[in-house]
Amino acid sequence: MMTHDSKDFNCTAATTGFGRSLSLQVYQFQGATPGKKVYLQANLHGAEISGNAVIYHLIQFLQTLDNQQLQGEIWLVPVCNPLSTNQRSHHFSSGRYNSYDGQDWNRIFWDYEKTGVDIMAFAQAHLHLEPEAIQTQYRQMIQDQFQQLLLETKASSRVPFKHYYRCQLQSLCLDADYVLDLHTSTNQALDYLYCFQGREASARDFLLDYGILMSTYDGDAFDEAFLKPWLALESCLADLGKPIQFDLESWTLELGSGMAMDEFSIALGTRGIKNYLASKGVLKVPDFPLPITTHHEIQFVSRQQVKKYHAIAGGMIQNRVELGTFVEKNQLLYEILSFNKIGKIPQILQVFAEADGLVLDLAINQAVNQFDYVLAMMELG
Ligand SMILES: [Zn+2]
């Protein structure tokens, strides 16, 4: 039987309106031999629940293993944002933005690179070391700086919740090797992932069909906050003639639609994560990595190739294309039923694709004000 542990991670200073404390539950699985640390969380945005089911299936699966079948450790945190999951507007889960300060819950995280650290100076001073030693020393610098932040956060009476909360999550994952943040669309969407530079080969192991390449990022998102300081170090080392890619990865998986427990997306996500962990050697289990991994193709697009369509007028959306449809330029995307209030009979306004592409995401609400979001296309090729 593998060692596993489940513990409450108390946010003792974080209490809700009537003094109730908020807490997170962390499930930890430890293999017989040391190795990589994997950190997985789900439901950072309140409407994005399917990752919790993925974590549930992974916990069920991990419980069937013996401790020789896991190398290293896996930490899993379902329902990682109790405040966002509680948010409602009528029947709708509105927890993408913190309703108290308006901020996106996934734009609050601490980025080591922004502390003013001179990464190039570190790279120059450690250029003569082996990659493992560079990694260890850089990790220690990040951890030291983070411990300082923790002390300041705990000691100060000027800390907003978002700064307290980010410390809770980041203290669980800063020492990890592979970080996975499970999201979905707020709306209805296909399954895909976000991929950082140099990690394209590993992206394939998730067995998803589409990936969005991160070319620019500001470090505030959870996946970015983990990996960005390392990518910056890799870049400095390459500039100094010593290209190194650390075996550190950070992923955001987008598993289907919001406010839904879609069986297909849950199964796809669970299979993909098992396959990824087996490909990394963390899991040693029969059948994984699946034979299809070697010839699986993931199609990458840049963020700029994902185009959002916004309503050209207020009204109701009808005759909209289905999710996952390949659409050609000038093909009908949707119609707006418009009661124009200029004394004329109601109009049907047609909106056409401005380029070829795949229908990636559809708004749940088919009532729109002018300029409201309607759908997103992934422009391929
Ligand atoms: Zn999200």
DSSP per position, 7-20: EEEEEEEEE-TTSP
Please give the distance, rounded to the nearest whole angstrom, from the Cα atom of residue 114 to the centre of ligand 1: 23
Percent of the chain residues past pLDDT 90, beyond the cut: 90
How buried is residue 192: exposed, middle or buried, by Cβ count under 10 Å (0-12/13-18/19+)? buried
Please give the distance, rounded to the nearest whole angstrom, from the Cα atom of residue 183 to the centre of ligand 1: 4
Q: How confident is the model at residue 1 (pLDDT cuts 50, 70, 90)?
A: very low
At 340 the pLDDT is 81
Please give the distance, rounded to the nearest whole angstrom, from the Cα atom of residue 260 to the centre of ligand 1: 13
Per-residue pLDDT averaged across 93-107, rounded?
95
Please give the distance, rounded to the nearest whole angstrom, from the Cα atom of residue 181 to the centre of ligand 1: 9
Please give the distance, rounded to the nearest whole angstrom, from the Cα atom of residue 105 to the centre of ligand 1: 8
Residue with tokens 């109009």: 347
DSSP state of 48: -
Please give the distance, rounded to the nearest whole angstrom, from the Cα atom of residue 97 to the centre of ligand 1: 10
CATH 3.40.630.10 domain extents, the chain: 3-297
Domain 305-378 sits in CATH at 2.40.50.100
Per-residue pLDDT averaged across 358-372, rounded?
97
pLDDT at 2 > cutoff 70: no
Please give the distance, rounded to the nearest whole angstrom, from the Cα atom of residue 343 to the centre of ligand 1: 43
Percent of the chain residues past pLDDT 70, beyond the cut: 95
Please give the distance, rounded to the nearest whole angstrom, from the Cα atom of residue 128 to the centre of ligand 1: 41
Give the angle subtended at the CA of 150 by the CAs of 148 and 155, to the nearest 5°: 95
At 16 the pLDDT is 66
CA 173 to CA 165: how far, in whole Å?
13
Q: Mind listing the pLDDT tens digit for each residue in 182-224?
A: 999 999 999 999 999 899 999 999 999 999 999 888 989 999 9
Please give the distance, rounded to the nearest whole angstrom, from the Cα atom of residue 69 to the centre of ligand 1: 32
Please give the distance, rounded to the nearest whole angstrom, from the Cα atom of residue 195 to the centre of ligand 1: 15
Please give the distance, rounded to the nearest whole angstrom, from the Cα atom of residue 244 to the centre of ligand 1: 31
Per-residue pLDDT averaged across 18-32, rounded?
87
Cβ proximity of 351 and 312 under 8 Å: yes
Q: Mind listing the pLDDT tens digit for each residue in 266-316?
A: 999 999 999 999 999 999 999 999 999 999 999 999 999 999 999 999 999
Please give the distance, rounded to the nearest whole angstrom, from the Cα atom of residue 41 to the centre of ligand 1: 12
3-state helix/strand/coil string of 146-161: HHHHHHHHHHCCCCCH
CATH 2.40.50.100 domain extents, the chain: 305-378
Superfamily (CATH) of domain 3-297? Zn peptidases (3.40.630.10)
Per-residue pLDDT averaged across 57-75, rounded?
97
Please give the distance, rounded to the nearest whole angstrom, from the Cα atom of residue 94 to the centre of ligand 1: 11
Alpha-carbon radius of gyration of the chain: 22
At 241 the pLDDT is 98
Q: Mind listing the pLDDT tens digit for each residue in 69-87?
A: 999 999 999 999 999 999 9
At 239 the pLDDT is 98
At 4 the pLDDT is 66
Per-residue pLDDT averaged across 233-262, rounded?
98
> Over the range 234-271, which residues count as b (16 or more CB within 10 Å of their CB) and which as e?
bebbeeeebeeebebbbbbbbbbbbbbebeebbebbbb
pLDDT at 7 > cutoff 70: no
pLDDT at 14 > cutoff 60: no
Please give the distance, rounded to the nearest whole angstrom, from the Cα atom of residue 315 to the centre of ligand 1: 27
pTM of the model: 0.95
At 17 the pLDDT is 67
pLDDT at 8 > cutoff 60: no
At 13 the pLDDT is 44
Per-residue pLDDT averaged across 136-162, rounded?
96
CA 354 to CA 323: how far, in whole Å?
17
Mean pLDDT taken over the chain: 94
DSSP state of 89: B
Please give the distance, rounded to the nearest whole angstrom, from the Cα atom of residue 237 to the centre of ligand 1: 32
Which of 309, 317, 318 lies closest to 368 in space, CA to CA?
317
Residue with tokens 């030291």: 144
At 22 the pLDDT is 77
Please give the distance, rounded to the nearest whole angstrom, from the Cα atom of residue 95 to the centre of ligand 1: 9
3 state DSSP class of 37: strand
Please give the distance, rounded to the nearest whole angstrom, from the Cα atom of residue 346 to the centre of ligand 1: 37
Please give the distance, rounded to the nearest whole angstrom, from the Cα atom of residue 215 to the centre of ligand 1: 19
Strand partners, 369: none
Please give the distance, rounded to the nearest whole angstrom, from the Cα atom of residue 250 to the centre of ligand 1: 15
